[in-house]
Amino acid sequence: MARRPIIAGNWKMNNTASEAVELVKALKPLVKDAKCDVVVCVPAIDIPAVKKAVHGSKIRLGAQNVHFAEKGAYTGEISAAMLKEYGVQYVIIGHSERRQYFGETDETVNLRTLAAIKAGLTPIVCIGESLEEREGGLTQKVLDRQIAADFAGIEDFSKIVIAYEPIWAIGTGRTATDEQANETIGYIRKRMKKVYAGKNVGRMRIQYGGSMNAKNAKGLMAQPEIDGGLIGGASLKAADFATVVNFDK
């Protein structure tokens, strides 16, 4: 079975609720004929407004983080059940910015991922290496560690999406070449099949998450191992994001 492409926008800490609605309104007609899954992962406070704005369109609603506990004394956190009740279908977990600035670890990424799956959300789990690690020839070692730790306990990998995000290419304007991205994602898929054999790994989708944009999306998406993109800055402009979504045109 062919893997259906998925293009997800990560708005990060951008757009008030009113700005979010305007962006979705501009985006909807531009992606109405999309041949891929289209997701916008929005700040938590924008979720209610965006839920209404995407209604009746091909755009699906995503969040940018989720806590691993069902409830409790976790001030400022949001549970999977809370997201689910608001119509959220996808949630980004383990983004490099969460790891760098907010103390995310492989252990907490794994706990959040399991909590999301249990609640019926589709986690978009981010893995990838730093520039120092890539230049030091440690890319595969880093990915091996993340693959073993971040995905422990998952029984059906068709229920998750992986975003390979080379940290050195996020928000820097630098992008892995089409071939580099394809090679690394191919390695991730091969390693996953070895470590998690018999758990539907063949149906798992892997995105590229390192500065994919309107100019480079077509080339990246032409690569056989790349199933989509986790889009940062380019997702904040309707025309640019639509160009990525409509990569096949």
User: Hey, where are the domains in the chain?
Assistant: 13-245
Instruction: List C-alpha distances in Å: 197 to 115, 154, 223.
Output: 22, 12, 24
Question: Per-residue pLDDT averaged across 68-88, rounded?
Answer: 98
The domain made up of 13-245 has a fold known as TIM Barrel (3.20.20)
> Please, are residues 189 and 225 in contact by the beta-carbon 8 Å criterion?
yes
pLDDT over threshold 80, residue 171: no
Q: Residue 100: pLDDT band by 50, 70, 90 thresholds?
A: very high
Mean pLDDT of 106-111: 98
Is 1 a residue whose pLDDT tops 70? no
Q: Is residue 68 over pLDDT 70?
A: yes
CA 122 to chain CA mean position, Å: 10
Question: Annotated active-site positions, please?
Answer: 95, 165
Is 203 exposed, middle or buried (CB count within 10 Å of its CB: 0-12, 13-18, 19+)? middle
Q: How confident is the model at residue 233 (pLDDT cuts 50, 70, 90)?
A: very high
The mean pLDDT of 60-83, rounded to a whole number, is: 98
